[in-house]
Amino acid sequence: MLDISVVKTDSPKQIPGPDDPLTFGTIFTDHMFVMNYEEGKGWYDPRIVPYGPFSLEPSAMVFHYGQEMFEGLKAYKSDDGRTLLFRPDKNIWRANKTNRRICIPEIPDEDFLQAIQAIVKMDEAWIPHKPGTSLYIRPFIIATDPFLGVRPSDTYIFCIILSPVGAYYPEGLNPVKIWIEDEYVRAVRGGIGEAKTGGNYVASLRSQVKAHEEGYSQVLWLDGVERKYIEEVGAMNIFFKINGTVITPMLNGSILPGVTRDSVIQLCKDWGVPVEERRISIDEIFEAHKNGTLEEVFGTGTAAVISPVGQLRWEDHIMKVQDGGIGPYSQKFYDTITGIQLGRIADPHGWTVEVK
Ligand SMILES: *Cc1c(COP(=O)(O)O)cnc(C)c1O
């Protein structure tokens, strides 16, 4: 159990009203959770303090070699006024998996959950109520040793910030156009692709800019070795429905193990829909599109939950899916997962956790 101290802000901010626009990740709540680490001492001084800047040495290791991890999950307000988290145990498990990969000291699962619960409880009034809105929770850890040599840091800051976010697609589900990248790669097996760490994102920026310039909203990555097998989208895992079977790339070491991905796979099993986790090549997708069996394509991630893909571009080929619209499975996964998140429908696997 953490003994969390609390310093409340003496200048609370204006909480956005139901009609104020909420764009992703721009507004932050009044408080944040912070905890420090020092080699030999462990994690110490867990505290809730007013949201505000850190003071760090310019030589702090995170600025130079990127030793940092992050997570992303959401808190929702149910119709009966409860505050619900969605599968936080999965995020915490993944956070510590990332920590092990990049030599950051682990945080005991129960302390991590307690920290999330405490900060969400503190700023509970910031959770928006409108359909599709939620409170985005961003835990992260940064390396803070003032040192320019290369080694794991001996000191760290763990922080959790909160941001009220609007519906990802204000008019409901909206199909995206995706650029299949065949020039750059994001990750290779044995690298850090399966860790949630900033390095993977900086590796993706060049392609993202290129795709945006071409009118595509996201990039779909192929494997870093043969550039042949599908990996995932920028910040989403990817699913295909081909001839009645739901298929997603298997977790091979370079793909992020998404919580939403896992939830979709479980729902397929619950519903008796054939589902496969396996290698899937771009040629297979191209063939399926050509012979009319590529029924649906969608991305999965905490931010948008389900993103139907209306168009894929690979080299000079443009593949339209569902005529550029939303497929019935994409819609059903979206309705079911958001229904569970909001406590509106049965939660047979106990995915939601109430913040009390
Ligand atoms: C966070 C993330 C995802 C989605 O994971 P969820 O747990 O479903 O939000 C997918 N790919 C990458 C690269 C990510 O960072």
**pLDDT tens string 124-163:** 999 998 888 999 999 999 999 999 999 999 999 999 999 9
Per-residue pLDDT, 96: 98
Contact (CB, 8 A) for 353 and 109: no
pTM: 0.97
Contact (CB, 8 A) for 274 and 241: no
The pLDDT confidence band at residue 171, using thresholds 50, 70 and 90, is low
Contact (CB, 8 A) for 246 and 277: no
Return the closest-CA partner of residue 298 out of 237, 208, 234, 244. 237
Residue with CA closest to ligand 1 atom 15: 235
Kindly state if the Cβ of 72 falls inside 6 Å of ligand 1.
yes
Contact (CB, 8 A) for 85 and 116: yes
The best mutation among 236, 260, 305 to test binding of ligand 1, ranked by most ligand atoms within 8 Å of the C-beta, falls on: 236
Task: Kindly tell me if the per-residue pLDDT of 172 is higher than 80.
Answer: no
Domain definitions of the chain by residue range = 5-165, 176-340
Per-residue pLDDT, 130: 87
Q: Kindly give the distance from the C-alpha atom of residue 17 to the centroid of ligand 1, in angstroms, as a whole number.
A: 29
Q: Kindly give the distance from the C-alpha atom of residue 254 to the centroid of ligand 1, in angstroms, as a whole number.
A: 12
The pLDDT confidence band at residue 295, using thresholds 50, 70 and 90, is very high
pLDDT, tens digit (0-9, with 9 covering 90-100), for 180-239: 999 999 999 999 999 999 999 999 999 999 999 999 999 999 999 999 999 999 899 999
Task: Give the architecture-level CATH label for domain 176-340.
Answer: Alpha-Beta Barrel (3.20)
The pLDDT confidence band at residue 167, using thresholds 50, 70 and 90, is confident
Segment 76-104 mean pLDDT: 97
Match 């870093």 to its residue by tokens: 224
CATH number listed for the domain at residues 5-165: 3.30.470.10
Give yes or no on whether 5-165 and 176-340 have one common fold: no
The residue with greater pLDDT, 169 or 108, is 108
Kindly state if the Cβ of 301 falls inside 6 Å of ligand 1.
yes
Per-residue pLDDT, 281: 98
pLDDT, tens digit (0-9, with 9 covering 90-100), for 248-263: 999 999 999 999 999 9
Q: Kindly give the distance from the C-alpha atom of residue 149 to the centroid of ligand 1, in angstroms, as a whole number.
A: 31
Residue with CA closest to ligand 1 atom 1: 235
Per-residue pLDDT, 170: 65
